């Protein structure tokens, strides 16, 4: 498995250097009716930059990545499932650094252990006015996760095989005030993974579709 995993991440690094599917892949898991503003820059209200990490590792003959369940709080993403990540800080060199720092702070995987091999397409998150840059990295073995007691309720480990399984997907109707959407989602251990996280996962599954192993 270790040899296969190294081959996979090598081929993935090469693929990430090529043009990405972007919107065409993201929209497959976008809530509908689709709000096209999430694919466009709103110059009248500049978005805040943020970075998240798609962290790969080998486990049980498959490739896994961690997601995190956020606790309930007063905010746009209360209780939701997301990638480790957060907002750009002044001390960060770039959004890749942001993703590495946040991954260490939120789930305890040290920055120096992560090899970053590329990034997916940026995506605007309407609810919080963030424009998110998803870095893709890997570690050579399953990490020992140490979730932050304040920011993380639990870490969810999910395999790429699970994410590719269409029986693990669904569509949920959601109502926000007078506005109703139908949101495609991934079911991960009974948790609904939807919105921007699902859209980024959709692009990731597209770019890894022909790389083998999963």
Q: What is the pLDDT of residue 135?
A: 98
Residue ranges, the chain, pLDDT below 50: none
The owner of tokens 């669904």 is: 170
The owner of tokens 């060199």 is: 93
**Domains of the chain listed by start with CATH number:** 2-167+195-207 (3.90.79.10)
Q: What is the pLDDT of residue 77?
A: 53
Token pair in block for residue 18? 């090529």
Q: What is the pLDDT of residue 181?
A: 87
Q: What is the pLDDT of residue 157?
A: 98
CB 40 within 8 A of CB 129: no
Note the pLDDT tens digit of each residue in 1-20: 577 999 999 999 999 999 99
pTM, to two decimals: 0.92
Computed from CA positions of residues 2, 166, 195, 155, in that sequence, does the dihedral angle turn out positive or negative? Answer: negative
Q: What is the pLDDT of residue 207?
A: 97
Q: What is the pLDDT of residue 42?
A: 60
Q: How far apart are CA 53 and CA 39, in angstroms?
A: 20
Q: How far apart are CA 122 and CA 98, in angstroms?
A: 14
CB 194 within 8 A of CB 173: no
Q: What is the pLDDT of residue 130?
A: 87
Q: What is the pLDDT of residue 141?
A: 96
Q: What is the pLDDT of residue 5?
A: 95
């Amino acid at each position: 498995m270790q040899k296969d995993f190294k081959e996979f991440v090598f081929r993935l690094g090469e693929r990430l250097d090529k043009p990405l599917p972007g919107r065409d892949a993201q929209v497959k898991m976008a809530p509908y009716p689709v709000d096209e503003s999430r694919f466009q820059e709103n110059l009248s209200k500049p978005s805040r930059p943020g970075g998240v990490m798609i962290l790969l590792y080998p486990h049980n003959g498959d490739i896994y990545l961690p997601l995190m369940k956020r606790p309930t709080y007063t905010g746009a993403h209360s209780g939701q499932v997301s990638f480790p990540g957060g907002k750009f800080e002044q001390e960060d060199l770039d959004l890749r650094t942001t993703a590495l720092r946040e991954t260490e702070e939120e789930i305890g995987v040290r920055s120096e252990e992560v090899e970053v091999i590329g990034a997916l397409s940026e995506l605007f998150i309407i609810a919080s006015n963030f424009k998110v840059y998803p870095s893709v990295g890997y570690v050579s073995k399953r990490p020992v996760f140490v979730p932050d007691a304040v920011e993380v309720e639990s870490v969810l480990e999910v395999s790429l095989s699970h994410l590719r399984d269409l029986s693990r997907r669904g569509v949920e109707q959601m109502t926000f005030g007078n506005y109703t959407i139908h949101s495609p989602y991934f079911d991960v251990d009974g948790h609904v993974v939807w919105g921007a996280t699902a859209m980024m996962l959709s692009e990731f599954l597209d770019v890894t579709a022909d790389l083998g192993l999963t």
